[in-house]
């Protein structure tokens, strides 16, 4: 069986109720941030699992291969596939930028209920799947 690894440590985790992003809550003001700060700012935040469901706040479709670097997607030897990216509002917490897992871009609309999922990002040198977080329409899960 091939191993799966998150693209970055402490970015998201699989919780009993599904994929949860790892964020921070400010110790002084209760403000949520994502991702969880590291380094000098780390002591100012408590680690929290953010809500896994929200609503689509805005989106766009990337129809051409972004410049590399910084694009770290599949290599240029693989055909490029357009993908959606958007902002998902997690109620009472924050708005997070994410790839959107959707087959039909026309299905996207403001306020669309979304849920966090783990999604393939690239294949590691050892053949393992490198995963990132993404959001998909709630209807896609049913």
Q: Give the start-to-end residue ranges of the domains of the chain.
A: 4-141
Q: Which of 58, 54, 60 is nearest to 18 (CA)?
A: 54
If you ran DSSP here, which 8-state letter would residue 41 be given? Answer: G
**SS3 assignment, position 34:** coil
- Residue carrying the six token digits 């290599």: 75
Instruction: Report the pLDDT value the prediction gives residue 3, as an integer from 0 to 100.
Output: 66
Q: ∠ CA(80), CA(77), CA(122), 5° rounding? A: 70
The string of pLDDT tens digits covering residues 66-88 is: 887 766 667 777 888 899 999 99
What's the pLDDT band for 1 if we cut at 50, 70, 90? Answer: very low
- Give the mean model confidence (pLDDT) for residues 119-123: 83
The string of pLDDT tens digits covering residues 8-62 is: 888 999 877 889 999 999 999 999 999 999 999 999 999 999 999 999 999 999 9
Does 2 score more than 80 pLDDT?
no
């Amino acid at each position: 069986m091939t191993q799966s690894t998150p693209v970055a440590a402490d970015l998201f985790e699989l919780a009993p109720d599904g994929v949860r992003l790892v964020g921070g809550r400010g110790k002084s003001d209760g403000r949520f941030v994502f991702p969880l700060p590291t380094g000098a700012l780390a002591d100012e935040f408590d680690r929290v699992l953010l809500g896994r469901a929200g609503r689509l706040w805005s989106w766009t479709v990337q129809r051409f291969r972004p410049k590399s670097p910084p694009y770290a997607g599949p290599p240029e030897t693989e055909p490029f596939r357009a993908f959606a990216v958007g902002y998902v509002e997690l109620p009472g917490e924050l708005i997070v930028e994410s790839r959107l897992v959707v087959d039909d871009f026309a299905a996207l609309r403001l306020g669309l209920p979304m849920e966090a999922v783990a999604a393939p990002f690239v294949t590691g040198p050892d053949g393992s799947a490198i995963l990132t977080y993404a959001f998909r329409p709630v209807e896609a899960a049913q």
